Structure 1
Amino acid sequence: MNLLLTASGLRNESLRDALRDMLGKPFGSANVVYVPTASVAEPGDHGWLLADMNRLHGLGWREFDVLELNGLPRQMVLDRLLRADVVHVGGGNQYHLARSITGNGLADGFLEALESRVYVGMSAGSMIFSQNLTTHSAEVIGDAADLHALGATAVEPPFGLFDWYLKPHLHSPDFPERDDAWAGRIAARADFPVWFIDDDTAVRVRDDTVDVVSEGRWRFCP
């Protein structure tokens, strides 16, 4: 399985080079599918979503598909995932994204598709693989409001691949409170490992190997 888990998409050449290497062929010879599902649960201006989509589209794919996980037949969603070489899942509300996957019975088919495809996550799209995407972690991390905004009190991890949790946007100007002190407070109360990554960083997973691709700052708190 090849996962490139970013905070803010393919913002720099190191991240784009990592994707080229994982894909193993030119972008112009590959299909990509963009999943914006997490974004629809976020209120306000969505210029960040358009910027991410345009950045990805600008890489010059053979086919650029956009796929919403809700409201379509399950098999249609899975067929569209299987048509892609790269599955890019965008940011927004990670709990809405997780509930869309589990609620529509997509988890097993999604994982099966990723066995032979490259996955790129942005923010929420990078957070859904943890065993610790739970009500407990929402309280620990400080994200409970994002869960309660959905009228929900619980969430089921759709995949549960890793014991570590990923928290994006360290030192981001869009989240000025997310400094080293903020990360330290979370790490002090967390009973699970946490990756904190900034907007120029990705956690890369290739089979059983986990490493970091970065032109910025990050920290791992085991």
Structure 2
Amino acid sequence: MKLLLTSGGVTNASIHAALLDLLGKPIAECRALCIPTAQHGHPWCTPDTAWRFVAGRSPAPMVDLGWQSVGLLELLALPHRPREQWEAWVRAADVLLVDGGDATFLAHWLRQTGLADLLPTLTDTVWVGVSAGSMVLTPRIGAQFVSWPGADGNDATLGLVDFSIFPHLNYPDFPSNRMANAEAWATEIGGPGYALDDQSAIRVVDGAAQVISEGEWRAFP
């Protein structure tokens, strides 16, 4: 897969240009599937916030970018569908738009459905994540970002990339997301990581990561 791992969505011209480059064609010619599942694992998320993401009315620009079509892929429903049916839907999509919430909850359902195993085979598909939708592809997210009780404190996620992400750096409503907190997180995480504000993202192609930013970010080796 080709990845665009954002903190706050497609929030500026640089991130938008990176998305177009990954897609290789205009957004208006691309079919998208949006995945809101991570919201169901986070106590701050509500039916209203889930609807706003799906409807393209969330603070994170993703669904509302002018796609040819947008479908809803709710992972909680996939065990009740034939595998060949939903796999065909995924393979037909140009892009997966993956919302935030709790990354451990999202990782659990990506594994449970089998979609996690399918992802590495989707070589031409673009994954666009926001917050937990980006963090889920990393090896670990850090204990402070685990809010789903079912994770039992385990912060391990899918590990499809070799770095971790500290999102929403210096976001006004998140006082625990300051640079000092990111530095402490980086010490705990035990591997490379990036702190990203909501004007920053990481583009990953063939395992090579590149920061795209019009804001503030920091790499932790």
TM range (shorter): 0.7 to 0.9
For 1:101 and 1:188, the matched residues in 2 are separated by 28
The Cα shift of 1:19 comes to 0.5
What do residues 93-147 of structure 1 show as CA deviations (whole Å, max 9, x unaligned)?
101100001122222113222x1111101111101222335xxx42xxx234x14
Partner of 1:199: 198
Unaligned runs of 5+ in 1: none
Equivalences for 1:17-166 in 2 at 5 Å?
17-44=17-44, 46=46, 49=50, 50=52, 53-54=56-57, 55-72=61-78, 73=81, 74-113=83-122, 115-132=123-140, 137-138=142-143, 142-144=144-146, 146-147=147-148, 149-150=149-150, 152-154=152-154, 157-158=157-158, 160-166=159-165
Structure 1 residue matching 2:4: 3-state secondary structure = strand
For 2:86 and 2:31, the matched residues in 1 are separated by 15
Contact 2:95 / 2:128 at 8 angstroms: preserved in 1?
yes
CA, structure 1 residues 102+57, in 2 after alignment: closer, same or farther (shift >3 Å)? closer
Structure 1 residue identity aligned to 2:134? S
Segment of structure 1 superposing worse, 64-73 or 2-11: 64-73
Partner of 1:3: 3
Partner of 1:171: 170
The Cα shift of 1:164 comes to 1.5
The Cα shift of 1:154 comes to 4.1
Structure 2 residue identity aligned to 1:33? L
For 1:190 and 1:56, the matched residues in 2 are separated by 28
Contact 2:45 / 2:101 at 8 angstroms: preserved in 1?
no
For 1:118 and 1:187, the matched residues in 2 are separated by 27
- The yes-or-no answer on 1:184 pairing with 2:183 is yes
* TM score, norm. by length of structure 1: 0.86
Structure 2 residue matching 1:22: 3-state secondary structure = helix
For 1:102 and 1:161, the matched residues in 2 are separated by 13
Q: What is the count of residue pairs matched by the alignment? A: 212
The Cα shift of 1:155 comes to 6.3
* TM score, norm. by length of structure 2: 0.86
Contact 1:78 / 1:110 at 8 angstroms: preserved in 2?
no
CA, structure 1 residues 56+189, in 2 after alignment: closer, same or farther (shift >3 Å)? closer
For 1:218 and 1:151, the matched residues in 2 are separated by 28
What do residues 39-61 of structure 1 show as CA deviations (whole Å, max 9, x unaligned)?
12223455655268333343221
Structure 2 residue identity aligned to 1:26? P
CA, structure 1 residues 190+208, in 2 after alignment: closer, same or farther (shift >3 Å)? closer
CA, structure 1 residues 59+132, in 2 after alignment: closer, same or farther (shift >3 Å)? closer
CA, structure 1 residues 131+42, in 2 after alignment: closer, same or farther (shift >3 Å)? closer
Structure 2 residue identity aligned to 1:92? G
